[in-house]
Chain A
């Protein structure tokens, strides 16, 4: 016991353990979400999805993992081998390092840095480079076009989403994700979507702008995870599978894992920004470090399910519609909201 405690107090060991902790969440989360996604998709389309493997197909995600582990790992001969191998890891690293600033509860956050949300915006740009790398290294025109479309889309939608985050930062007065959550502590009425922890008249005048900012962030976060209605980067009818067309086996699985981790990431950011992070909706009732983790994951999963629901309901946007939504609708509205919030907060 003594030895173990001594080992844990070693800075390198504790840093490695803290770095691995979110992975312990992501892996089971991905299994559950793959199952939920397939089942929700099936029920939305009035069918059953898999029913054979286990009760209502509950063992299917495990079977999928086994299949992916056994598959041959194919690297195309004309591909640029080093970049081809590096790309999926780069995509995953970009997503995973953002988990460092997610406050899972009042007691657990990977790194409580002062610039949390800014860090999150910055490291997600690693994903773009990873996608471009995978598309180019595959030496396949569909992969390349998919990667270019994906990068153009993510870069465009970073602007409205960063402006929406800026609005929330102006209200809460901090960029640290943990402090932002503390700002919203004290029940559902204190959440930033309802004006946060401010005097009553400011809260009331902030509500319409916060709802608009929430919608802007929700739409642009959906674009950033490349899911329908914003999935032209992997539009099957045009591009086969987009940037990961040539990938198979575990490399494909890592892309998949990164996509699902990214899905939870953007949902968690919505929760931190607008819906109180790990705080309980009932004030001090059912609050505490463990309940905090419960609320955080529950709220996050609600938004993951919202994303899945929208994905299987809406048709795909065209490229010009996509750019129109980003530059001519979301960005001006976000700028107006930031201006209005600035005036309200200063007064």
Chain B
């Protein structure tokens, strides 16, 4: 067991344990905060897989954006309006079906994927990925990249429109 393995198991345990807290915690704020460690652990595993750009983007988008948004929503509803939001069990049958389907899908992917096992992971040469990603985004994958940016722009404009309409209604 070398240093690489120790770090891998550390991040794996952090990810899975915090994900378990997200699911099983009764208090939704604990779930939201626990997500931080899940995202962080996944980012750590990306780093170990030599995907540095992906790891940092994971931190920036999920921790800096999505998690903060979730926390805002959860905090403003529980502590300011003083309505306790608790998680509970409901809709057991549909949930079971969806989870079974999802598990089957994931298991199928794990089973059919041709896993990269040629090299031990610790021997992967450390080379940077940002240049290759940048080049790929503006050459081979330029169309999906542009479509994604246009869709995001539409989403931003839509969000701004909704926020603005609500404010003008309250003014009247």
Task: Kindly identify, within residues 97 to 129 of chain A, every residue whose CB is under 8 Å from any CB belonging to chain B.
Answer: 113-115, 118-119, 121-126, 128-129
Find out whether the CB atom of A144 lies under 8 angstroms from the CB atom of B56.
Answer: no
- Cα separation A114 to B129 with both chains bound (whole Å): 9
Contact with A along B53-95 (1 / 0, CB 8 A): 1001101100111011001100110011000000000000000
Decide if B135 is an interface residue (CB 8 Å cutoff).
no
> Is the Cβ of A148 less than 8 Å from the Cβ of B72?
yes
Docked complex: B96-110 residues within 8 A CB-CB of A: none
Contact at B79–A144, with CB atoms within 8 Å?
yes
Please tell me if the beta carbons of B72 and A151 are within 8 angstroms of each other in the complex: yes
Within the complex, the shortest CB–CB distance from B65 to chain A, in Å, comes to: 8
Q: Is the CB of B130 within 8 A of A129?
A: no
Closest to B35 in A: A129
Q: Kindly state the separation between the CA atoms of A115 and B56 in the bound complex, as whole angstroms.
A: 8
Q: Which residue of chain A lies nearest to B129 when distances are taken between CB atoms in the complex?
A: A114
- Which one of B33, B56, B64, B65 contacts A133 once the chains associate, using CB atoms below 8 Å? B33
Q: A54 interface residue, CB < 8 Å from B?
A: no
Encode contact with B along A227-263: 1 for CB under 8 Å, 0 otherwise.
0000000000000000000000000000000000000
A198 contacts partner chain B, Cβ-Cβ < 8 Å: no
A148 vs B59: C-alpha distance when bound (angstroms): 20
Using A114-B130, A155-B68 as known contacts, say yes or no to A129 and B63 having CB atoms under 8 A apart: yes
Asked whether any CB of chain A lies closer than 8 Å to the CB of B147, the reply is no
Chain B residue total in the interface (Cβ 8 A) = 24
Give Cα A135–Cα B59 distance, bound, in whole angstroms. Answer: 22
Identify B59's interface contact among A113, A122, A136, A175, CB under 8 A: A122
Say yes or no: A144 contacts B68, CB within 8 Å.
no
Q: Please, how many angstroms separate the alpha-carbon atoms of A148 and B74 in the complex?
A: 12
> Given the interface contacts A129-B36, A136-B75, does A114 sit within 8 Å of B68 by beta carbon?
no
How many Å lie between the Cα of A148 and that of B128 in the bound state?
37
Cβ-defined contact, A132 with B71, below 8 A? yes
By a CB distance below 8 angstroms, the chain A residues around B68 are 125, 128-129, 132, 151, 155
A118: chain B residues at CB < 8 Å are: 53, 56, 60, 130
Q: Is A83 an interface residue (CB 8 A)?
A: yes
Within 8 Å CB of B56, what residues of A? 115, 118-119, 122
Q: Which residues of B contact A144 (CB under 8 A)?
A: 75, 79-80
Which B residues are CB-close (under 8 A) to A158? 64
Q: Are B75 and A148 in contact (CB under 8 A)?
A: yes
Residues of A within 8 A of B (CB): 11-12, 80, 83, 113-115, 118-119, 121-126, 128-129, 132-133, 135-136, 139, 141, 144, 148, 151, 155, 158, 175
Selected A-B contacts with CB under 8 Å, 9 pairs: A115-B130, A121-B60, A122-B59, A122-B64, A129-B67, A144-B75, A148-B72, A148-B75, A158-B64
